[in-house]
Amino acid sequence: MTAPATLTEIWRGDILESIHTGHVVISDHKGQILESWGNPDHITYPRSSCKMIQALPLVESGAADAYGLTPEHLALACASHQGAFIHTDRVGKWLSALDLGESDLRCGPQEPNDLPARNALIKTDDSPCQFHNNCSGKHSGFLTWNKHMGHGADYHDPTHPLQIAIKEAFEDTTGETSPGYGIDGCSAPNYATSVAGLARAMGFFAGASENGSAREKAAVRLRQAMALHPDLVAGETRACTELMRATDGKVSIKTGADGVFIAIIPEKKIGVALKISDGATRASECTVAAILVKLGVLDPNHPATKKRLNAPILNWNKVNCGTIKAADSLK
């Protein structure tokens, strides 16, 4: 077993205050590892980083076209959004068009991370609803598939035909038999894989052709939808949104809870997956930025990059107290 590699360092003054280790794999579109740090075989949950895989059945089944879903809908299906009005309004309209509503969702209510949306709820003594859940777009995609296929209401149950279809897509694109699933924050099953398997799946998305199989065509539409609507995939101030904008649509990236990040780079036909051992977001964001810079698809001097890679640690007085740095091995 290969130990996790040092990926991110937190410096305060002249002293290394904290350190983050983990596993990174860069894969080509055939599933070959091009470069790795730590242990490529490390098993982890992709969490929300694999939403584009979970959306494959939606597109492949014909459900997306049957209900006229646009790239905006597909971007939301792949999103961990922050419950801003641009997200919740679209989710509400989407479900209405399916003759469904908030109560058909199974993701649970979540306080929005978007500050204007959060503050609007507080000012009116209102409670967050399931539309605000960061996964409500994914679940709207699930409901669209389910409407099209005519299965039972509990689409999040691991034995539901939708989740079985997702498992098939997951194991096909990762190229591995999953060792099992956990229940995610939104109550959907989340299948585990190796970091190499997750990178392999992203390599598949990167290399997929518009002239390829139904799965490849679906992958192209999903990766393009993400790159076209970075604001719908996460939201203002968020890493996914800001870093995708910074790459001018060349890269589709997605975070997952507990320190996961993936990147899909079609122009190079490569995929990236990383897991921070301790689950820290500051480290997953710094590391994915470092990898994208290393691969030449992200400007190290772009403000979105500098906010995460070699980023200043500012205190309550905006005094610069330290730096979030990528480990030397990532340069």
Chain residues that interact with a copy of itself, rule: CB under 8 A: 10, 12-15, 17-21, 43-45, 106-110, 119, 122-123, 133, 179-187, 190, 192, 258-259, 276-280, 283, 315-319, 321-322
Alpha carbons 163 and 157: distance in angstroms, whole number: 7
Q: Which of 233, 198, 222, 225 is nearest to 80 (CA)?
A: 233
Q: One-letter amino acid identity for 133?
A: N
Q: How far is the CB of 54 from a copy of itself (least distance, A)?
A: 16
Q: One-letter amino acid identity for 306?
A: K
Nearer to a copy of itself by Cβ, of 133 and 247: the residue is 133
Q: How far is the CB of 312 from a copy of itself (least distance, A)?
A: 12
Nearer to a copy of itself by Cβ, of 66 and 122: the residue is 122
Classify the C-alpha dihedral 330-81-251-203 as positive or negative.
Answer: positive
Q: Which of 233, 240, 277, 287 is nearest to 71 (CA)?
A: 233
Q: How far is the CB of 184 from a copy of itself (least distance, A)?
A: 7
Nearer to a copy of itself by Cβ, of 39 and 252: the residue is 39
Reading phi first (left if > 0) and then psi (alpha if -120 to 50, else beta), residue 164 is in: alpha
Q: Which of 155, 154, 153, 175 is nearest to 165 (CA)?
A: 155
Alpha carbons 136 and 187: distance in angstroms, whole number: 12
Alpha-carbon separation of residue 126 from 83, 92, 190, 242 (angstroms): 14, 17, 31, 30
Nearer to a copy of itself by Cβ, of 17 and 248: the residue is 17
Nearer to a copy of itself by Cβ, of 143 and 265: the residue is 143
Nearer to a copy of itself by Cβ, of 2 and 213: the residue is 2
Reading phi first (left if > 0) and then psi (alpha if -120 to 50, else beta), residue 102 is in: alpha
Q: How far is the CB of 57 from a copy of itself (least distance, A)?
A: 22
Q: Which two tokens stand for residue 246?
A: 């910074």
Nearer to a copy of itself by Cβ, of 61 and 194: the residue is 194
Nearer to a copy of itself by Cβ, of 21 and 224: the residue is 21
Q: How far is the CB of 185 from a copy of itself (least distance, A)?
A: 5
| Distance between start and end Cα atoms, the chain | 24
- Number of C-beta neighbours around residue 70 at 10 A: 14
Q: Which two tokens stand for residue 98?
A: 């399916």
Classify the C-alpha dihedral 116-287-187-234 as positive or negative.
Answer: positive
Q: How far is the CB of 134 from a copy of itself (least distance, A)?
A: 9
Alpha carbons 292 and 206: distance in angstroms, whole number: 14
